[in-house]
Chain A
Amino acid sequence: MFQGQMARRSIPILKQLFTSPSSHLTPTRSVTYMPRPGDGAPRPVTLIPGDAIGPLVTGAVEQVMQAMHAPVYFERYEVHGDMKRVPQEVIDSIKKNKVCLKGGLATPMGGGVSSLNVQLRKELDLYASLVNCFNLPGLPTRHENVDIVVIRENTEGEYSGLEHEVVPGVVESLKVITKFCSERIAKYAFEYAYLNNRKKVTAVHKANIMKLADGLFLESCREVATKYPGIKYNEIIVDNCCMQLVSKPEQFDVMVTPNLYGNLVANTAAGIAGGTGVMPGGNVGADHAVFEQGASAGNVGNEKLVAQKTANPVALLLSSAMMLRHLQFPSFADRLETAVKRVILDGKYRTKDLGGTSTTQEVVDAVIAALD
């Protein structure tokens, strides 16, 4: 009888051990990463807090980095969306540090000021924008098995900014597609797929209507595809693509797109996987990398979010994990990612866009507590 009581008392403990939610999120190390001597020296990273919720979420990243004692220190520069240009000192700093973390810059609508996000990308020739959309365990969404990386050409296409008024009441906008840019984005997409063990690359286009422009883009993609015979390649028209994304997103793996379609596809994919508040992303070029919230970098939230301090820091935290990997600090990146995923899985601290009621600071504190 005594044994029976012991058995009965141990059942809840055993249950907890076997069903502990964070047990499968403990990173296990099999083979260690061997750094070079001196790799641990702190690296400078340019930090642009940005507008509206920008300072809130970049502040979150700074706090978490400090808690982890990560070997990065931030050089902070104030840039706001209504400035005419990005200040030269900021550009110089990014060129020196090669890595930047940024909050969103809001562009005033139709105000004659060109978007600073786009300007920064063009100046530094950050030609690839990458958004990783995946289901976070513990976050309920309508779609399962989503793991899509959208690689978007970042410098030309519809965002060339070449518009003029022909006669009053008739406006033309030029969409420019060049072989040079299409080829390098296709190369980046296939290289990414190769290095990250991805099986399929899908090119998104509208070449049935824009035969020359998107036709040129497709030609470049096809040429590069022949050099990677191990990776499957297919093409899909953008409207069909959006429809498939909302019904069967598991068929997509890596998607490569020109500028405008990439914006839409990235936002749609981010929406089905949980929202732009949680998807990480960045812009990369041959020499520099700028990490920011995955999709919709120009969306800096409204005054209510700022006033109530309920912006979602998860996207920028995961983007900074990407940044840590880029800087070759994989162990810190893993710890940060695991902590964030644990917090999402627990479900106690979630901001409003994920259906919870926490403030940014509460989520940050939870992430710091979940760090091991």
Chain B
Amino acid sequence: MATHLLRRRVSQILSQAIPCPTSPLSVGRAFSSATAPIRATLFPGDGIGPEIAESVKQVFRGAEVPIEWEEHYVGDQIDPRTQSFLTWESLESVRKNRVGLKGPMATPIGKGHRSLNLTLRKELNLYANVRPCYSLPGYKTRYDDVNLITIRENTEGEYSGLEHQVVRGVVESLKIITRQASLRVAEYAFHYAKTHGRERVSAIHKANIMQKTDGLFLKCCREVAEKYPEITYEEVVIDNCCMMLVKNPALFDVLVMPNLYGDIISDLCAGLIGGLGLTPSCNIGEGGIALAEAVHGSAPDIAGKVNLQIYL
């Protein structure tokens, strides 16, 4: 499923004139007249990553998808240019190719540098995380009618990482919301809704308590909503949203939210359809960069016996 998103992005890059194809076959046909294969960056990652990456390559070869993979591995030394194990070349490759597929990367704990996922996010300015959640026919869970997309702001909010100890026993953590980032993710959400024929966008917030921060987020969403009058816009408080999601997930269509709520809600939705092994995800960056990824971890304990669904 992540590569389904990837194929859409790839076709967009190839020719803006051709509308988004909805089936893999039509993608194949559209490409058959292309001159050169698309280059995409592949980060196999750690743990179960390399096996999964191998399987993805096999499937793509079998389906004759014209993608040429540029593999990059995480180094074992800190690259001073990026302050992490990811090398400058890897990042440049993603910036150049503008599409990528990332396997799970384990951040070594306690080494005192920032996590690999965080590095990718900050360096490539991946501002929106898109996670479609569809009930898979054939895999029965308690919820059969899930069909929603969660779009989460990926750069700021509660995950700014700005914490400090005021005095012993008192810690403050900053949650930052900016107009620029909120507008950006709201724009992407409505654009996504429009191009994929979605009818409703719901902004999830807790503005009754956090009035200025979530209030600013909501104001930005409202501004963008005015530019898309054909899409219904609503605002839902997060506690109501959680309850409605577990009672009746069919009530929601596209959800747009700040960072922390997005994290929790997108994992909740993944749980509704059957777990992290079945959920694809794509990070969208400035300038049209798309990095599709697996949402699960590297699971070193099960390297060797792995669920491939989410990559396909």
Contact = CB atoms under 8 A, between A and B. Distances in A.
B121 interface: no
Contacts of A165: 212
Interface stretch (A9-17, A190-198, A234-242): A234-242
Contact of A212 (B164, B178, B235): B164
A28 B265 CA distance: 43
B207 A110 contact: yes
Contacts of A245: 246, 268, 271
A215 B161 CA distance: 13
A242 B174 contact: no
A247 B179 CA distance: 36
B171 interface: yes
Contact of B271 (A114, A159, A246): A246
Interface stretch (B39-47, B55-63, B213-221): B213-221
Interface string B131-157: 000000000011100000000000000
Interface residues of A, number: 62
A37 interface: no
Contact of A173 (B174, B237, B270): B174
A243 B171 contact: no
B238 interface: yes
Interface in B210-269: 210-216, 218, 235, 237-240, 242-247, 260, 263-268
Contacts of B247: 271, 275
B206 interface: yes
A268 B158 contact: no
B165 interface: yes
B268 A246 contact: yes
Given A115-B209, A247-B271, A213 B173 contact: yes
A270 interface: yes
B305 to A, nearest CB: 20
Contacts of A270: 243
A356 interface: no
A173 B206 CA distance: 12
B287 interface: no
Interface stretch (A70-78, A176-184, A305-313, A332-340): A176-184
Contact of B170 (A176, A209, A268): A176
Contacts of B173: 174-177, 210, 212-213
B208 A210 contact: no
B1 interface: no
A272 interface: yes
Contacts of B170: 176-179
B180 interface: yes
A284 to B, nearest CB: 20
A165 B209 CA distance: 16
A174 to B, nearest CB: 5
B192 interface: no
Interface stretch (A57-65, A259-267, A362-370): A259-267
A298 interface: yes
Contacts of A267: 239-240, 242-243
A259 to B, nearest CB: 9
B107 to A, nearest CB: 9
Contact of A115 (B165, B208, B270, B275): B208
B180 to A, nearest CB: 7
B174 A174 contact: yes
A216 interface: yes
Interface string A85-116: 00000000000000000000001111110110
Nearest to B220: A169
Contacts of A244: 271
Nearest to B248: A271
A118 B237 CA distance: 16
Contacts of A125: none
A276 interface: yes
B212 to A, nearest CB: 4
A81 to B, nearest CB: 9
B210 A176 contact: no
A158 interface: yes
Given A171-B212, A175-B173, A267-B242, A299 B158 contact: no
Contacts of B276: 243
Contact of B209 (A143, A161, A171, A246): A161
A175 B271 contact: no
A116 B108 CA distance: 45
Contact of A268 (B172, B218, B243, B266): B243
B177 interface: yes
Interface in B158-216: 158-159, 161, 163-165, 168-180, 206-216
B6 interface: no
B272 interface: yes
Interface string A134-162: 00000000110000000000000011010
B178 A299 contact: no
B215 A110 contact: yes
Given A169-B178, A174-B173, A295 B243 contact: yes
Contact of A242 (B164, B211, B215, B264): B264
Most chain A CB within a 10 A radius of its CB, from B163, B171, B238, B260: B171
Most chain B CB within a 10 A radius of its CB, from A118, A210, A216, A246: A246
Contacts of A261: 264
Contacts of B176: 170-172
A163 B212 contact: yes
Given A213-B163, A267-B240, A299-B240, A173 B178 contact: no
B242 A179 contact: no
Minimum-distance CB pairs A-B, first 6: A243-B271, A179-B169, A169-B179, A239-B267, A271-B246, A271-B243
Interface of B: 141-143, 158-159, 161, 163-165, 168-180, 206-216, 218, 235, 237-240, 242-247, 260, 263-268, 270-272, 274-276
7 contacts: A109-B207, A171-B212, A239-B266, A242-B265, A243-B268, A267-B243, A268-B268
